[in-house]
Amino acid sequence: MDIKKRPNHKLYIQVLRRMSPQQRLLKAFELSEFAKQLFIRGLHERFPNLPSEDFQKKLRERLAKCHNKNY
């Protein structure tokens, strides 16, 4: 049972199926970059007064926590 309504889900799946593998890969890269930019923006909002060097260090630390260590 679907608790959340997703009226455009069928359309989304149809669009994905019409894309070539290369287009889907490029879309995945685009979404990944977008998520990373959102993450950085959120970190900036959480630590607005952090100097640039300290911010970069914190960013690297947080990204390292997200890294999949199964590889």
Q: Residues 2-57: pLDDT tens digits? A: 678 888 999 999 999 999 999 999 999 999 999 999 999 999 999 999 999 999 99
Query: Closest Cα partner for 39 from 15, 18, 55, 17?
Result: 55
Q: Where are the domains of the chain?
A: 26-71
Is a pLDDT exceeding 70 seen at residue 71? no
How confident is the model at residue 68, as a pLDDT? 72
